Amino acid sequence: MKTIGLIGGMSWESTAVYYRRINESVRALRGGLHSAEIALRSLDFNRVVELQKAGRWEDAGTLLGEAGAGLARGGAACVLICTNTMHLVSEPVARLSGVPLIDIIDETAAALKADGRRNPLLLATRYTMEHGFYAERMARHGISVTVPECDARGIVHDIIFDELCQGLVEDGSRRRYLDIIEQSRARGVDSVILGCTEISLLVDPNSLPLPGYDSTAIHADAAVRFALAEELERAA
């Protein structure tokens, strides 16, 4: 088994989901008392948020890249950025880490394409919905991303930072997300991307009015496939 490197803490609420999902998947595949070999560098999210707000993406890339390099020195065979938004700086992180970076956007696109989805609604932070990097990357895979209207984007973003990243899961916020999805159906979307790693704490992707794709689960499962690639190939 290869060691999985996690750049986490953004927020730690979702990083905990990664840790559980990866270990549950390894146990399901290998049985018994098996668990994943994981190296985790958990950053201070407040520091990252300050860089986001200031638009200091180059500095953010260096911060995460140095974390990835540390994981690689510690034996990680790959790295994951455990957040969608910070994939804005995935290129410098991959370069500085020096090991394969398993990309959440590419993996989510692959899951959509496998199911024939081409026009998903993206629910994420404002940075992810509005910056352009996410839509551009999805377009390379032939997928056209739709985002909520302006006011709804603000609602989605605020619930992520003011509630989910702080461990608050509110029924009223769940209803607001579901309302936003319903409103977007008229715009021709065929699916929903939970494009922030905390959103799965609020809504179940399998209980939405449209097919849902949980980017956190997709990303974690890709890491397990990487770590167990040789075993899975022998078993095929």
Q: Are 102 and 145 in contact (CB under 8 A)?
A: no
Is 85 an annotated catalytic residue?
no
Supply angle C-alpha 98, 194, 157, rounded to 5.
95
Express each pLDDT in 39-96 by its tens digit: 999 999 999 999 999 999 999 999 999 999 999 999 999 999 999 999 999 999 999 9
Catalytic residue, from 108, 165, 196, 197: name it.
196
Q: pLDDT value at position 235?
A: 76
CATH fold match for the domains 4-103+218-235 and 105-214: yes
Read off the amino acid at residue 129. Answer: M
Given the candidates 3.30.360.10, 3.40.50.620, 3.40.50.1860, 3.10.20.90, the CATH classification of the domain at 4-103+218-235 is 3.40.50.1860
Q: pLDDT value at position 132?
A: 93
> CB neighbours of 167 closer than 8 A, spacing ≥ 6?
13
Express each pLDDT in 164-204 by its tens digit: 999 999 999 999 999 999 999 889 999 999 999 999 999 99
Given the candidates 3.10.580.10, 2.40.50.140, 3.40.920.10, 3.40.50.1860, the CATH classification of the domain at 105-214 is 3.40.50.1860
Read off the amino acid at residue 22. Answer: I
> CB neighbours of 59 closer than 8 A, spacing ≥ 6?
51
> What are the angstrom distances between the C-alpha of 182 and each of 103, 118, 137, 190, 205?
29, 18, 25, 12, 14
Catalytic residue, from 83, 128, 197, 216: name it.
83
Give the domain ranges of the chain: 4-103+218-235, 105-214
Supply angle C-alpha 117, 122, 124, rounded to 5.
150
Residue 236: is its pLDDT beyond 90? no
Q: Are 215 and 195 in contact (CB under 8 A)?
A: yes
Written as six digits, the tokens of 113 are 């394409």
Q: pLDDT value at position 230?
A: 85
Residue 134: is its pLDDT beyond 80? yes
DSSP string, 142-188: T---B---HHHHHHHHHHHHHTGGGT---HHHHHHHHHHHHHHHTTT
Is 165 an annotated catalytic residue?
no
Give the whole-angstrom CA distance, residue 68 versus residue 226: 17
Give the whole-angstrom CA distance, residue 158 versus residue 178: 15
Give the whole-angstrom CA distance, residue 82 versus residue 102: 10
